[in-house]
Structure 1
């Protein structure tokens, strides 16, 4: 991989770690990672995007790696998370950008497109769709539907609970997450039915080794992201469904009008969770192109990098061409 410059920006009240490469006059591409990942989860996309002449910017999102990780869960609502990237764009003098997000990075990308209709020229979401602002916070419906059953998002709500399970063995946690949400298991294996008092990994498989798509060198970058700090900051993203819903009220009914691409694996459990949003997404994202990646789980940019890169580069050539 080409050498990337690492910078630490003071933006939006935090330090934001940023890896960047490519020509200064190349059109900016922001790659936003999700949970529980790191900037290096984009390792298979960085080189092809650089080869196409883009300026590639890969932040360590708030709560991860060298970026600040505020203890207060209220510091992680969607508007604040978008503010980190907006402030970074301002600091770098960027008047245009394409934003690409996976997992939790996808809602940030979708909302940046809503908040920055002039600056964000195109947007890509992977795994998590945008179906518009819901009528109520998702956690309210979850509490009703999962009153006596386990739900991992509800399990993540109380600070300290999930941390006690996930922080005790960080390498195992990352291996378990990679394996149990990938194409190596049935699609809904991660969402298996179990009692309300269960823990996240109850009933799941410990593969005891890394998946074929993550070698030891890549895994070392994931470990570096969480070792010494654990998962508290990353889990705080899940503790803001109500706050994010309140803060996005001005965006009620707004559409993502930019050219948009959505990618999801056919074995991604998020497809079950977000089935309704995927179905109605064209109403909220009218200029939408979407593709389902075959034999692919949640970690699509690494499970199926060739297919993902082909869709990305084709979309960018049509809607955000680089002039260099």
Structure 2
């Protein structure tokens, strides 16, 4: 479908719910959602998105645009024999979910985003804007450099992932109140990240094993998503100023750095006035970091079941 093969995990019967993971993750990041959503009467499907896990990894960098990623969701819905679906995304999966609802509202019953709010296309290309604002040290710019982050993360994949997940979680210390993810290009992304002696309760060694295995072929496909940020800005010009009109839910952790990016808190405050079918005001999860559905599965599941049931 859409020129790629996607590996999926599936459980349950009923209205289709497509769960889209982020970076650096896999379908496994939704492990806590399968049972509760299936028990609530839904057919739950989580793919490894293109460039990840056991799914295809096109070589061309420009094969990872937002239009390709939305196309994968559309193709998946059709390949599963469905006419419509609920689409839920976390981290990078959230922009894919939001854009699926924006570009193909005819296919989407309801859309939910975790961590990353709905799209708001700015006046300037994002990589160029961040490069100018933070002197090239913002992590998007570091990830966009060909081969650089790829090499850093594959030196010791398991350690890289352990640091990633702990440092962005609600369990990591935030003595300074949190900081923007800026990178010294000479030292790399991982240099200043804490490496926990003991994993947080929500992340087991088995979970880390599964995650490490999913990146056994490297990080390049996943990082190519970042290398298309400016291209995505160009491609989405026809939808500048457009808003998601399908029923929508947004959830985030109060210790997540992403909703604290410059201008984002103000944008989140305005969401109820910007989105005509926002189901309820944005749901803020106390003490939760970036890995929303893994750190707070019970709260996320309860909100999703209520929202998806109302939209079915």
The normalised TM-score by structure 1 is 0.90
- Residue 241 of structure 1, aligned match among 229, 241, 250: 229
Supply the distance in 2 between the matched residues of 1:108 and 1:178 (Cα, whole angstroms).
21
Supply the distance in 1 between the matched residues of 2:232 and 2:102 (Cα, whole angstroms).
14
- Which residue of the partner structure matches residue 295 of structure 1? 287
- Which residue of the partner structure matches residue 168 of structure 1? 155
- Residue 45 of structure 2, aligned match among 46, 57, 62: 57
Supply the distance in 1 between the matched residues of 2:145 and 2:266 (Cα, whole angstroms).
27
Is there any run of 5+ residues in structure 2 with no aligned partner, and where? none
- Which residue of the partner structure matches residue 314 of structure 1? 306
Q: Is residue 133 from structure 1 mapped to residue 125 from structure 2 by the alignment?
A: no
Is the CA contact (8 Å cut-off) linking 2:143 and 2:223 kept in structure 1? yes
Superposed CA deviations along residues 70-128 of structure 1, whole A, max 9, x for unmatched, are 12211111111010110111222211110000000000000000111122010000000
Q: 1:69 to 1:209 in 2, by over 3 A?
A: farther
The normalised TM-score by structure 2 is 0.93
Q: 1:124 to 1:298 in 2, by over 3 A?
A: same
1:215 is displaced (CA, Å) by 1.3
Supply the distance in 1 between the matched residues of 2:266 and 2:143 (Cα, whole angstroms).
23
Count of aligned positions = 306
SS of equivalent to 1:156: helix
Bigger Cα displacement from structure 2, 118-127 vs 272-281: 272-281
Is the CA contact (8 Å cut-off) linking 2:142 and 2:183 kept in structure 1? no
- Residue 37 of structure 1, aligned match among 11, 19, 25: 25
Question: What is the root-mean-square deviation of aligned Cα atoms in Å?
Answer: 1.7
Superposed CA deviations along residues 254-287 of structure 1, whole A, max 9, x for unmatched, are 2111111000000001021133432333354222
Is the CA contact (8 Å cut-off) linking 2:11 and 2:35 kept in structure 1? no
Is the CA contact (8 Å cut-off) linking 1:150 and 1:198 kept in structure 2? no
- Which residue of the partner structure matches residue 14 of structure 1? 4
SS of equivalent to 1:172: helix
- Kindly report structure 1 stretches of 4+ aligned residues shifted beyond 6 Å: none
- Higher relative strand content: 1
Q: 1:244 to 1:284 in 2, by over 3 A?
A: farther
SS of equivalent to 2:117: coil
Is there any run of 5+ residues in structure 1 with no aligned partner, and where? 1-10
Is the CA contact (8 Å cut-off) linking 2:6 and 2:47 kept in structure 1? yes
- Which residue of the partner structure matches residue 46 of structure 1? 34
Supply the distance in 2 between the matched residues of 1:193 and 1:107 (Cα, whole angstroms).
22
Q: Is residue 179 from structure 1 mapped to residue 171 from structure 2 by the alignment?
A: no
Q: Is residue 222 from structure 1 mapped to residue 211 from structure 2 by the alignment?
A: yes
Supply the distance in 2 between the matched residues of 1:151 and 1:142 (Cα, whole angstroms).
6
- Residue 70 of structure 2, aligned match among 82, 91, 102: 82
Supply the distance in 1 between the matched residues of 2:253 and 2:267 (Cα, whole angstroms).
15
Supply the distance in 2 between the matched residues of 1:169 and 1:189 (Cα, whole angstroms).
26
1:197 is displaced (CA, Å) by 3.6
- Which residue of the partner structure matches residue 134 of structure 2? 146
